[in-house]
Structure formats: C-alpha cells, structure tokens
Structure 1
C-alpha cells in the first residue's frame, strides 16, 4: 500500500475533534482498513486556525508526508491546500474547500488567504485530489468550491443537501479514501 497513513485535519472551532462532526466516526472506519493508520488530533490554536501554527503542526506533530492522505474539512481544507503547496503528499481530500476569507476577520487572521493560491504546485505535489462540496453550504458560496475543483482538477463529489458537512457520519468520504488506498 503506497499511502498507509491518513490524517484528518478538522475545521476551526471543532472542540474535541474525536466527538465533533464526522471526524471520530471516520477515523474508526479508516482504522478498520488493514495496514492503514489514521490520525485525528485536537489542533493547536483551534479557533483562529493560524497557518503559521497549523502547517508546522501538520509537519512536525502529524508527520504528513508523501505516504499520507490528508483529509481537510473547512479550515482544514485550506490548511491541506497550503501545506500541499510546499510538501509532497499521497493525496488530499478536501471537504468544504474555499478560496477567500469570505469577508470574515477570523478567516483573514488565519493567514491562508493573504496571497494567491499556487494551484500548479498543489497539483504537482499530490498524486490524487478529491473534493466534497455542497451547493447548500450556508458558509461557503458554491462559486468558491467550484473554483477549487476547477483549479486543482479535483475529482469532485458535488452534493445539494449536505450543508457544511457537519453530520455525524460520512460514508461517501470513507469510500473515496478506500478507493485511494487501493489504487
């Protein structure tokens, strides 16, 4: 197996990530796959999710590398994309990805949106890019989600009824990760 490690990078403000959204459930499902390790940790600076703190933690604390599938949700998707600009990864799986600070001061303070995205570097550093988005997301305009998909040539799973993917289970995500791991 070329990608024996999966890391879930949650959205900001997630609290205890093991019991938030679909994160803990997904970790348990991935842990059932033989030969695969799944990491899910509470992130430092969980509210602002500063790039200057999260990216070093992804490198030094979670050891994301070219044998890692990074699943990023919301702010975690922004972190995964910025990380992939400068690090080789097996794959990124983006859930609720977006391209701007959306006019929000906390998002602006995170640092992810202070410069243009380096789409070509992300594509060249990732063997696979999968994206999940929903047209009814109350926080993210579809135009930004579509821009991510187009710019990264991502394998897009488009929904109309998932909002910001804050449900407690996410079987489609687990299936997509299983497919990546078996390629």
Structure 2
C-alpha cells in the first residue's frame, strides 16, 4: 500500500514541537505534497518519553498503520523502531537513531533499552527504512548509529557536520520522503 500519512515523532524534551528543531517546517512541507497528510503533535510524557506511553499514543491517537511513514528523531527514532517490532508500517525514517541508554538515567527510564532489539521483526514489518546520522553528533556515538544501519540494512545518509539534527530546516529529509512516496 502507498504512503498516505506521515507521522513525525519528536525527540524527548522538544517542548512545543511545532516550533522545535525542523519538525514544524517539515510538517508544513509534507502537507504540501498531494495525497499525503502529515501529523505532528506534542507527545505525552515529553521528558522521559516512556515507551509504555508513547507506543500506545502512536497506535491509538496517531493511528500509525501500514500506510504510515513514521519519522522518528532521537528518542522518537527509538520509539519508531520499537513500534515497528510489533506493527506493520509503510516506512520509517530514523534521524539520530541509537541502540543503548547511553548511560543516561532518563534514557534508561524510557524503557526502550530494557531488552534486545528485534531487528528481524522490524525489517519484516517495514517496507522501507531510511536513516540520517552524523559522525559529529554530540549525544550519540557513531558506533550506535552505524549498528542501527547495519542491523536494519537502512538506506543510510551519513553526515559529518549535522550534529544531532537540531536545525530548523531539513531539505534532505523532504527529498527522502518524496522518494519514498514515489516508490509507493
């Protein structure tokens, strides 16, 4: 099935997501694409981003399904991966994805890193996986970003100068979305 909806899942602590990072700008750009709607909402439990709160919200409120492209940034990428272990979705775009709690108590409390990743299930439930990562990310070691790419066999867009992707515009992301929509 072709993509009909794009859902942007922000990183934790983003505040008002319409005015944080590239989220609002991207949402507007996607909503200009004929036949596709984009959903961007403030997430419940925005600081800890608990899996037990975010995944049900993605299912019940955002209605992520097999016609949905989920864009996850940082902890939103972790949420997109965990969601895809048990739900079929059209595609996921992972921005600043990682595999461990990074030794951070808040990340540990989120629940995403409490068990091994089910890479095969994610690949089986998702038609397309695109990943954006940067070697100069101040929060995420490149090794973890590369591990996601290797385990999920992502279409990896590797940068050396994008940090944690906290810019206000992200044209490369729009290009990736348009390519996925065309691939239908």
Which TM bucket (shorter chain)? over 0.9
Shift of 1:123: 0.3
Q: Structure 2 regions of 5+ residues with no counterpart? A: none
Matched, 1:48 2:54: no
Shift of 1:40: 0.1
Q: Deviations over 1:80-116 (max 9, x none)?
A: 0000000000000000000000000000000000000
- 2-structure distance, mates of 1:97, 1:12: 13
- 2-structure distance, mates of 1:4, 1:182: 12
How many residues align structurally? 183
Q: In the alignment, what sits opposite 1:85?
A: 85
Q: In the alignment, what sits opposite 2:113?
A: 113
Q: Structure 1 regions of 5+ residues with no counterpart? A: none
Give the TM-score normalised by structure 1.
0.99
Q: Deviations over 1:115-163 (max 9, x none)?
A: 0000000000000000000000000000000000000000000000000
Misfit runs of 4+, over 3 Å: none
RMSD over aligned Cα atoms: 0.6
Give the TM-score normalised by structure 2.
0.99
- 2-structure distance, mates of 1:178, 1:99: 27
- 2-structure distance, mates of 1:66, 1:53: 21
Q: Deviations over 1:19-75 (max 9, x none)?
A: 000000000100110000000000000000000000000000000000000000000
